[in-house]
Copies of this chain bind each other. A is one copy, B any other.
Amino acid sequence: MTAPHIDRDRLWQSLMDMARIGATADGGSNRQALSQEDAQARALLLEWCAPLGLKLEQDAIGNMFLRRPGSDPAARAVAFGSHLDTVPTGGRFDGIVGVLSGLEVMRALHAAGMATRAPLELVNWTNEEGSRFRPAMMGSRVHAGDMGLEATLAITDDRGVSVAEALKQSGLAGPLAPSPRGWACWLEAHIEQGPVMEASNTDIGIVVGTMHARYFQITVTGEPSHVGPTTMDRRRDSLAATAEAILAVERIGRAAEPGGRASATWIENFPNARGAVPAITRLHADVRHDEAATAIEMEAALRQALAEIAAVRQVAIEVDHYTSFGPVAFDQTLANVLRRRAEARQFTIRDMIAAAGHDSVLVAQLCPSAMLFVPSVAGITHNPSEYSTPEQIARGAQVLLDAVLELAG
């Protein structure tokens, strides 16, 4: 039996092979949750797992658990993974690095013929991105009991297709009732999605916690009228009011720098007809900050700004705070394992706060959890140009492997 080792080129080749599914002309990936591309990506992962003897268990929201038995049947599993879905303008690494680094760990153990005491589980979570079906981190939310299965299956996309229908069409629902699986611990490798590690020449980011983020659906209701004869003073234009809301979100984000940010990302306008003054406009926005209290103050500032817009423009504005994530402090003991293992490899490390949501936020409610980051070149992500080097990614996989060996015995 040889010592297990990370094969940088094999890992890179798998990332490139996966990126072909939903590849976009500009070099990125568009592989939205529960699409045909998502189904193809999962099939490819299964194809790769088959020779490793991993056993698939899949739950009713589509989360995939690929289990490798341990030598101690009573031991609780060490679990790791991330997600294979992308945003529409996605890159090749966000999420995928975590799943395929986990696959590389499994491959390394298999090639070395090594058994661990505790079982291992490689996980691909459903709909981490939340692009087509909100909210994000849907699969891990349902797994953790943060959202009910029935209510989640009824959520619809912008065209009225439900999660249940999309699961059926893509063939991705499994037989298991989503529920916690009694893991000993959880690890997730991910790209940084920001410029800090590259700028500070850091190999491995030890993610100690996340920001607090608050998500809103804002509905502005004005009055339909005709663009031709309706003088400006007689209009109650929902799109113009929403434009002020978008700029208010941006202003609040700027005022909260550097610890916070705010974003308006999704818009739907009705009747969206060239002859009609807009009557109803919906906007998705979020605010987030390292300090939960500040994020809550940002929400208050947003609500105040929206109330002023509504009063001045005589439109109705409803704010639905439909979900949040964080703040999470990840398990310190587990973070120390990652830290020690990275140091043992002489990698440079740095503590990081995750600004984005991750499935680990949900799993941290269930068992000791930790995340590691690898650098993003130029800090660009959710973009076809998203990039991390083969070496950067292999370092992350190496630390993951070393930590799994320590934790699973």
Interface residues of A (CB under 8 A from B): 87-89, 94, 129-132, 134-136, 158, 192-195, 211, 213, 215, 223-234, 237, 239-240, 242-244, 246-247, 250, 253-254, 257-258, 261-267, 269-279, 284, 286, 288, 354-357, 379-384
Question: How many angstroms between the C-alpha atoms of A354 and B254 in the bound complex?
Answer: 45
User: Is the pair A258, B279 in contact by a Cβ cutoff of 8 Å?
Assistant: no
Among candidates B158, B195, B263, B269, residue contacting A227 with C-beta atoms closer than 8 Å: B263
User: Is the pair B226, A239 in contact by a Cβ cutoff of 8 Å?
Assistant: no
Among candidates B244, B261, B272, residue contacting A231 with C-beta atoms closer than 8 Å: B261
A257 CB contacts on chain B under 8 angstroms = 231-233
A243 CB contacts on chain B under 8 angstroms = 242-244, 246-247, 250, 264
A404 to chain B, nearest CB (A): 26
Copies in the complex: 2
- Interface majority SS on A: helix, strand, loop or mixed? loop
A92 to chain B, nearest CB (A): 14
10 tightest A-B CB contacts, nearest first: A228-B356, A194-B229, A88-B271, A131-B273, A243-B246, A226-B382, A243-B243, A89-B224, A228-B355, A227-B263
User: Is the pair A194, B230 in contact by a Cβ cutoff of 8 Å?
Assistant: yes
A224 CB contacts on chain B under 8 angstroms = 87, 89, 382-384
Question: How many angstroms between the C-alpha atoms of A263 and B222 in the bound complex?
Answer: 14
Most chain B Cβ neighbours within 10 Å, of A158, A192, A211, A247: A247
A87 CB contacts on chain B under 8 angstroms = 224, 271, 273, 275-276
User: Is the pair B275, A258 in contact by a Cβ cutoff of 8 Å?
Assistant: no
Q: Given A253-B232, A379-B229, A380-B225, is A277 in contact with B258 using a C-beta cutoff of 8 Å?
A: no
User: Is the pair A267, B269 in contact by a Cβ cutoff of 8 Å?
Assistant: yes
Question: How many angstroms between the C-alpha atoms of A288 and B230 in the bound complex?
Answer: 12
In the complex formed, the residue of B with least CB distance to A253 is B232
User: Is the pair A275, B271 in contact by a Cβ cutoff of 8 Å?
Assistant: no
User: Is the pair B130, A275 in contact by a Cβ cutoff of 8 Å?
Assistant: yes
Question: How many angstroms between the C-alpha atoms of A300 and B266 in the bound complex?
Answer: 30
A216 to chain B, nearest CB (A): 10
Question: How many angstroms between the C-alpha atoms of A211 and B224 in the bound complex?
Answer: 21
A278 to chain B, nearest CB (A): 6
Question: How many angstroms between the C-alpha atoms of A257 and B284 in the bound complex?
Answer: 33
Most chain B Cβ neighbours within 10 Å, of A132, A158, A271, A356: A271
Most chain B Cβ neighbours within 10 Å, of A226, A276, A277: A226
Among candidates B242, B265, B384, residue contacting A277 with C-beta atoms closer than 8 Å: B265
A246 CB contacts on chain B under 8 angstroms = 239-240, 243
Q: Given A273-B129, A276-B87, is A265 in contact with B227 using a C-beta cutoff of 8 Å?
A: yes
User: Is the pair A129, B261 in contact by a Cβ cutoff of 8 Å?
Assistant: no
9 more CB-based (< 8 A) A-B contacts, given A224-B382, A225-B380, A225-B382: A87-B276, A88-B276, A193-B228, A228-B261, A231-B261, A232-B262, A242-B243, A243-B244, A276-B382
Question: How many angstroms between the C-alpha atoms of A229 and B384 in the bound complex?
Answer: 16
Q: Given A129-B275, A228-B355, is A247 in contact with B244 using a C-beta cutoff of 8 Å?
A: yes
Question: How many angstroms between the C-alpha atoms of A272 and B132 in the bound complex?
Answer: 9
Task: Write 11 A-B pairs (CB below 8 A) sorted by A numbering.
Answer: A89-B224, A193-B226, A194-B229, A194-B231, A215-B274, A225-B380, A229-B379, A229-B381, A233-B254, A243-B250, A266-B273
Q: Given A232-B250, A239-B267, A269-B267, is A130 in contact with B284 using a C-beta cutoff of 8 Å?
A: no
A242 CB contacts on chain B under 8 angstroms = 243
A233 CB contacts on chain B under 8 angstroms = 254, 257
Most chain B Cβ neighbours within 10 Å, of A254, A266, A288: A266
A277 CB contacts on chain B under 8 angstroms = 263, 265, 382
Question: How many angstroms between the C-alpha atoms of A185 and B130 in the bound complex?
Answer: 58
User: Is the pair B270, A267 in contact by a Cβ cutoff of 8 Å?
Assistant: no
